[in-house]
Amino acid sequence: MEAAAFQESKTYLCRQLPSSLEDADFGTIHWDSFDAIELVDTVTGNQPKERTEVRACWSPKYLHIRYLCEDSHVVSDFTLRDEPLYEQDVVELFIDEDGTGNRYLELEVSPNNIVFDALIASDGEATITATDLAWRFEGLQTAALADGEARRVYFVHIPVGNFKRPFEQGLSWRVNFYRIDEDRLGNREYQAWQATKAVNFHLPRKFGRLLFI
C-alpha cells in the first residue's frame, strides 16, 4: 500500500529537547513546553468520559512521551511482559516508520507499568498478517504513577537504536496514540488521537503523522 493512499490525518509537531536536557529523566522534562494531544472516543470522535492528554518530544538519543489520564477506576491485573494488556486498562502507541501501513511497532503500558511490545505485519488495511511477540524495544524505559486519587501518569522513553533512521529534524512517521479505559460497571471506552471510527486500533490508514522539528 502506498503512503499516498492514506486518508488525510492530523500532524503532531514533535519538538526537540534543549541540549541541556538530552539525558533528562521523567521528572525533569518541562512537559508543558510541548504541545498536547487530546484523545477522543475512537468510534464517535467525541470527548471521552475520562480525559487523556499526550505530549511528546525528542533528543538525538530518545523519543519521550507522557500520557496524563483521568482515571477514577483502575483495572489492571497482568504481571508479565507481553500478556494481553489490551484486555484491561492500558495506554498504547503504534509507530509506522515507513508510512506504508505494512509494518508497525506496537507498545502498551499498563497502570502497573507492565509492558506489551510487538512487531506487527499488516495488509495495510484492517488485517494483521503476523504478530512478533519475540521482538521488543531495547533499552525501553517506562513508568506508571498515581497522581492523586483519580489520575495516572505514564512516561515512555524509547532509545533511537530501535529505529531505522536517526532522530533529526524533518523525520516523519505515521503514528497513533490510544487508551483503553474500563469503568466500575465494566464498560470499556476506546480512545485515540486519530479516531478509527471502529473498535479497532489496527487500522494503519487512520494513523496520524508525527513530525520531528
Q: Please answer whether residues 165 and 97 qualify as being in contact, where contact means their C-beta atoms are separated by less than 8 angstroms.
A: yes
- Cα 142 to its chain centre, rounded Å, is 12
Return d(Cα 189, Cα 54) in angstroms, integer: 17
Q: What are the backbone angles phi and psi of residue 76, rounded to the nearest 5°?
A: -160, 105
Task: Provide the residue range defining the domain that includes 8.
Answer: 3-212
Q: Does residue 49 carry a pLDDT above 60?
A: yes
Q: Please answer whether residues 34 and 12 qualify as being in contact, where contact means their C-beta atoms are separated by less than 8 angstroms.
A: no
> What's the CATH code of the domain at 27?
2.60.40.1190
The residue-averaged pLDDT of 2-22 equals 73
The residue-averaged pLDDT of 57-80 equals 97
> Number of folded domains in the chain?
1
Q: What pLDDT, on a 0 to 100 scale, did the predictor assign at position 19?
A: 78
Return d(Cα 21, Cα 44) in angstroms, integer: 39
Q: What pLDDT, on a 0 to 100 scale, did the predictor assign at position 35?
A: 97
Residues 102-157 pLDDT 10s: 999 999 999 999 999 999 999 999 999 999 999 999 999 999 999 887 999 999 99
pLDDT-based confidence at 18, cuts 50/70/90?
confident
Which residue carries 515507513 as its cell?
A: 98
Residues 147-199 pLDDT 10s: 887 999 999 999 999 999 999 999 999 999 999 999 999 999 999 999 999 99
Q: Does residue 2 carry a pLDDT above 70?
A: no
Q: What pLDDT, on a 0 to 100 scale, did the predictor assign at position 9?
A: 84
Residue % of the chain over a pLDDT of 70: 94
The residue-averaged pLDDT of 202-209 equals 97
Q: Does residue 6 carry a pLDDT above 60?
A: no
**Residue 24: CB atoms within 10 Å:** 17
For residue 129, give the C-alpha cell: 498478517
* Sign of the CA dihedral with 161 first, then 164, 165, and 171 last: negative
The residue-averaged pLDDT of 70-79 equals 97
pLDDT-based confidence at 207, cuts 50/70/90?
very high
Q: What is the mean pLDDT of the chain?
A: 94
